A = this chain, B = another copy of it.
């Protein structure tokens, strides 16, 4: 997870203090540098990941890092500059679960406006069948629907993705889903 937001007190271009005001021609406040004129926009970030099926089960990772240390999640993380969403999902899956992926399709796009994130999840299959915890995971395991530790899932967007995936699987057809996540993670 590499995308935490830094405080904006000073201009990253010229080091002058910034002010929080609506720039000319704009309609919402921004961090504005009145010394050099730079406007420091802030925009939502994409978290990309995978729902990987293997022998009818789904691969989950138990988090070795904060936030939500010890909780279970799908392999996912912040998309980096220079990569595609699919490349980000494949990379994160390898970093967190040492798993190689064959992507089938885009599965879900979930807005989380409260924290300025969009989760973009792909569905696919575990290539080769091997996996193990990466540096950011305590454990990696395959779960069927009944076995998923539903009360110990790290983030609401992951719970929602798993719900959608198992529902589509029961119905025998996978779609591409959008949804908005409003609730916070349970304590």
Residue numbers of A with Cβ under 8 A of B are: 2-4, 6-15, 18, 25-26, 28, 30-31, 38-46, 78-87, 105-106, 109, 111, 113, 116, 118, 120, 135, 176, 178, 180
Q: Are B11 and A81 in contact (CB under 8 A)?
A: no
Closest chain B residue, CB of each to CB of A38: B6
Closest chain B residue, CB of each to CB of A105: B178
| Complex interface: chain B residues within 8 A of A113 (CB) | 82-84, 87
Task: Name 28 A/B residue pairs within 8 A (Cβ), A-sorted.
Answer: A2-B30, A2-B39, A2-B41, A4-B39, A4-B41, A6-B13, A6-B38, A7-B13, A7-B38, A8-B12, A9-B12, A9-B13, A9-B14, A10-B10, A10-B11, A10-B12, A11-B12, A12-B31, A12-B40, A15-B15, A43-B81, A79-B118, A81-B116, A82-B113, A82-B116, A84-B113, A106-B109, A106-B178
